[in-house]
Amino acid sequence: MKKHNFSAGPCILPESVIKKASEAIINFNNDNLSLIEISHRSKPFVDVIEKAQNLALELLGLQNQGYKALYLQGGASTQFLMTAYNLLHKKAAYLNTGTWSDKSIKEAKLFGEVVEVASSKDKNFSYIPKGYSIPIDADYFHCTSNNTIFGTQMKEFPSFNGVNVCDMSSDIFSRQLDFSKFDLIYAGAQKNMGPAGATLVVIKEEILGKVERAIPSMLSYKVHLDKDSMFNTPAVFAVYVSMLTLEWLKGLGGISFIEKVNQQKADLLYNEIDRNPLFKGFVAKEDRSNMNATFNLVDESLKSTFDNLWKEAGINGLNGHRSVGGYRASMYNALPLYSVQALVDVMQDLERKQK
């Protein structure tokens, strides 16, 4: 049986997607050629990327509203600098909720003034700051919707009456939001929508053209928009698997369906963390992430016993990020409820063994 895969990223993908992807590597579209050895400008592949872009917009409810979807390379980390390169004229506002925001702030500072509107660094990013204000003259406001490492998730977004940019790498397509509040959304595919190598950028074209600096072609949204993600060779395999994953999601019933499943999974695990006296959650309850649950053992001396138990149960990827320690269970869209149940069973097993 396949392992229960709680990996934080690259992460679990639906089995049906992995199977179709492996078939396309051998023989794509019954053309007796592999997906990865045909021209990215051939009709079969152009159909793939167009379908992936359309599905992304459709699932987010952003069709016919001036948005375009791009599949770029360089990961979300390249978006940290591309957003500032293309949008930061004088001053940008950033909310700092941990490692990823920290990195995006560092890149933005290369291009202009950065106002950190709030930070949860004082408590090791274990909560989401609230009640801050955003300078009205900021070129844009940037936030990270889900903190993959610390396990916090923004439940509400400030209403900034300007350009809103969001790094949704680790929770895109996992819950319903009013996505039209955002002018630019980006996400590395490997957390919830495909394999590593492709980055989805959903952007409103009208926000561009405000900065005066010259922008190198590969880092210019305008260039990629004008060429529909085909300025250079896209990551064909990653885009294809992303298309399959979005098709899978649409087939299930889209974001409104998967959000309910994700809520069930999160409730199951957090209820156990709160009930079981051997464990404690890492972050403020109201800010808990439905994607990445972080928790610790109350008594660290049980670590090797617990680690052996979950490994024996076929669980993979439960170690916390090195900057936090403890445990992190990532429950992305493709993780079945029974995998969370398997983890909860192990936590209860540990409790029984202590009595």
CB of 104 to ligand PLP, least distance (A): 8
Q: Which residue is nearest to ligand PLP (CB)?
A: 75
CB of 355 to ligand PLP, least distance (A): 38
Closest residue by Cα to residue 99 from 173, 170, 35, 6: 170
Half-sphere exposure of 74 (CA within 13 A, CB side): 14
CB of 100 to ligand PLP, least distance (A): 4
CB of 125 to ligand PLP, least distance (A): 12
Please tell me what DSSP assigns to residue 289: -
Question: For ligand PLP, which is the closer residue by CB, 75 or 281?
Answer: 75
C-alpha dihedral over 40, 45, 47, 49, to 10 degrees?
-70
Closest residue by Cα to residue 294 from 318, 277, 315: 318
Q: How far is CA 128 from CA 87, 105, 199, 287, in A?
A: 25, 17, 25, 6
Please tell me what DSSP assigns to residue 320: P
Question: For ligand PLP, which is the closer residue by CB, 243 or 291?
Answer: 291
SS3 category, 133? coil
- Is 20 annotated in the active site? no
Compute the radius of gyration of the chain from its Cα atoms: 21
Which one from 68, 171, 191, 204 is the annotated catalytic residue?
191
- Given a contact cutoff of 8 angstroms between Cβ atoms, the answer to whether 93 and 138 are in contact is yes
CB of 103 to ligand PLP, least distance (A): 7
- Is 310 annotated in the active site? no
Here the tokens at position 48 are: 């793939």
Helix (H) or strand (E) holding 89: none
CA 58 to chain centre: 18
Summarize as ranges the residues that interact with ligand PLP (CB under 6 A): 9, 75-77, 100, 144, 148, 167, 169-170, 188, 191
Residue 14 to residue 249: CA distance in whole angstroms? 9
Going by their DSSP bridges, the two strands 4-5 and 184-188 should be labelled as unpaired
Question: For ligand PLP, which is the closer residue by CB, 191 or 265?
Answer: 191
SS3 category, 321? coil
CB of 214 to ligand PLP, least distance (A): 25
Question: For ligand PLP, which is the closer residue by CB, 107 or 167?
Answer: 167
Which one from 167, 171, 183, 287 is the annotated catalytic residue?
167
- Is 191 annotated in the active site? yes
Question: For ligand PLP, which is the closer residue by CB, 11 or 344?
Answer: 11
Question: For ligand PLP, which is the closer residue by CB, 69 or 347?
Answer: 69
CB of 338 to ligand PLP, least distance (A): 25
Residue 173 to residue 35: CA distance in whole angstroms? 25
Question: For ligand PLP, which is the closer residue by CB, 119 or 169?
Answer: 169
Which one from 68, 100, 171, 310 is the annotated catalytic residue?
100
Going by their DSSP bridges, the two strands 199-204 and 184-188 should be labelled as antiparallel
Give the active site residues. Answer: 100, 167, 191
